[in-house]
A and B are shown apart, each in its own frame.
Chain A
Amino acid sequence: MASEDEVSEFLSQNREAAAWVEAVRGECESDKMWRYRREFILRNLSDFCGPRLPPLHSNDRALDRVLAYSMVWSNHVFTGCRYPQPVMEKVLEMAGNLKVKDAPVHTCRDDLVSKVKKRGIASNNEGGLEEPSKKIKPIEEMKVADSSSTKIQEPPRHETQVSSDRDSGDLNPCTSATQRTDTNLGNCETSQSSQPVSTTDSKPAKSPAVAKSEPIAPQEKIALVEIRQETSTKSTLQSPIKPPRKLTVEDTKERQAFFNRLYKAVAWKLVSAGGFSQSLNHTELLNSCIESLKASLDIAFVPLKELADLPQNKTSQENMVCELRCKAVYLGMGCGKSKDNAKAVASREAIKLFLKKKVVVRICKRKYSGRDVEDLVLLDEESRSVNLPPALKNPQDLL
């Protein structure tokens, strides 16, 4: 909020500017929204309109552009709108380190709908819009940088600082965070992630987003700095971070053999245990079977409230989610009051799979932190469409 004080100080010293900026306030903007947007406008005004305040109501194009960007930013932060990527990039750049601590949380229409339909939805930006922005960006960025230091005496920005800001935004992407600390890039990501996974041309541009959302902290910052530099030198195409690996049939075939063996092992184990029953220790059973095949059971836990895709009111007291994987293949998920509970439920679900005629490894789309990713999933042969819960770990990391 330090910068906000600066703004009010600046305005109290500069009556003319204060009156001027009040005139562009939206009629029905709340005080909070306006405070932030006012700062956004003041910061960027001189870049667009020169050092002097443009006359009001003159349909000055430069001024209108600033206003438009301020609205884009405000709509994005406060109302949850997403704009085409080039617009988003530009606006977030203009916002600089203007941070909103307590922005409301919204669910976007695409997320809402795709949550219902459980499938990837392309947002309809055609990608053709990216070129013009790329041309302009470096210049604009410089302008932003020096304007912000001249106009309102804000601390000079460093690349690292910005990137760490973004970093914190990462951990709380727009849809899942109950409270956002930073809206800068966390949102940018989610807007990117609504793009189709399948279209090939949009992929390179998307790679930073995918890489960033990995919850590995230490390398993260370095990667981010790199990305940052890239975007400024507009060479997103040669990203050092590998693009998401496309899962192929080979991946499933590779693993199918193992799971066939596991199927047999579990079946035998069950027979020796006197058949499936609720009273069995499913975790132990599963684990011993997997270990007998020289593999290991990967168990991941996440508190339920961090999985934004799940209905929160339903299971308020069940607060741990457990995901079981083996050889990067998803076996099952469970939810319980404690980790042990969740694990037991998850392994029971997994064992149930092995009661069916045959198990197969398939590539399925599922959610991971609000976007669709491909994942390897162990399924009953006969099941057709499955509603998979969102993944706890990024399947891409596990490969």
Chain B
Amino acid sequence: MTPSRTAGRRSSRRFQARRRLAVMGGVISLACLLLVGRLAQVQLLGGQRYVAYGSAQMNRVVTLTPQRGPLLDRNGNVLAMSLPVEDVYADPHQVTNASNEAQVLSPLLHVPRPVLLRQLKARTSFVYLARQVSAGVSAAIRAKNLPGINFLPDSRRFAPDGNLALPVLGFTGLDNQGLAGLEYKYNSLLAGKPGQAVMRVNPWGTPITGGLLQMHPAVPGRGLRLTLDTAIQYETEQALSQEIVASHARSGMAVIEDSATGQILSMASLVASPHGSPQPAPSNFPVTYTYEPGSVMKLSTFSGALGAHIITPSTPIHVPSQLVIAGSVFHDAEPHGPEVLTATQVLAQSSNMGTIKIAERLGAHGVSHWIRAFGFGSHTGLGFPGASTGIVRPVSTWSATAIGSTPIGQDTGVTAMQVLDAYNVLANGGVFVPPRLVQGTVTGSRFQPLPPPARHRVVAPWVAATMTQMLRHVATNQGTAPAAAIPGYTVAGKTGTAQKPLTNGRGYIPGAFMGTFVGYVPAQHPVLTAVVVLDRPTPIYGGSVAAPVFAKICGYALRLMDVPPTSTGTSSGTTGAGAG
């Protein structure tokens, strides 16, 4: 081999080596560049995301359920309160023996074993086994130390008095959200604000001792002190329930209000049940149920006519046996011949003919004005969920017969609460006092009263006083509701017996009536105003079915509130089953 060839080979090898080195250097440089690029991508562009991934694996965020505020009655008795309970859930990935665990849990949770087995084998990392179990049950399950079975803090609403005032209080759902009644209306206030705890956990998800990173405690909800009185509420429901059963009514409602303050002491809504005693109504009837009021509406016509000096209590009214208005025949409940009654007698005997005669003198606009002035056709100010304004037609849409039907409580829809508040105007000397169900909020032991709503005058004091004098005759033997009398006290009130209209608005349901009594007591210095309404009772008259309930519940409340009898001498009266 010649030296020149050898040198050429050496040169070639050196060249190849350099090339390999260059290629390797390039590859390594490229790899380094890729690594640097990836590092920049991870650290700079997606840094926050990966930090979040890491935190999610290391930290667990636990939402702290706030304690829902209690509902108390006016004396501080608990009507509804929340207790801490626990939810039982499973992480099926950590369950080692699903069959055995289902066998153990089934009798404790009262859930069929196959259902539990299916849940424990589900392809998920979270499944509820039971919600809101009692402390005893959760302690029993915890003692079993079952793998994959865990607990979440929760709270549950309890009503110590059972169904007492249920339509008023409402109820909450599984997530402690108010769904009806006051629980719904004041949900934001009662619910409180959830808290949050961030804690470090080990790879198995168990919190590390001392690993609490952040803690924002839950803010418990505020409590509500209501105006209801538990004892009066109980008595009202008992008396109403007995009357629904006795009169075979479909349902009933009753409200007692503190005349001066408008604070509602009891509010009951019951529906008949074929399986026993009446049950709580599905909604708060006194504010949600609209019906034709009947003769209790005569208040507007009489007050307007008195204020306009059209009548006085002793004005003689020529009452015919019947009236024909625009082809429609109007008559009184009881047939009678033409007669002359005083205005007071017309009201006491609830004469439709006499009332229509007075309404004709007041005029359609006058009647309509006074109906609205007493609050019919508008909200009472209670602000209860689902409250109805009733149906009051403007004069421009009145039919030709409306001047006959409207003053006697037909062609108009009202709620029992509106009727009560209208008569409470008279009890307060002509001033409208908005009703109230909530006295104020309670935080711990601190009570924060709600400001009283604004009042306004409806009729002159002398009109209210005159009306009271006239209404006192209703609860006597000369009136339509002697059963409303409370021995020892003077009652002023009015009965109403109204037909129930067909749902299509064309005519009335045969034989279906609403019986009402509304009044206040003692008439001289009213303390209580109350209304009682029964749906399709037998007998049909408000004076026969609603008035006795009025006497019973108001008599009880007067004694409970230590209101002395107003009559002179010794008096006695019947009582109901009192609770306190």
Q: Is the A/B pair a real complex?
A: no
B residues with CB within 8 A of A: none
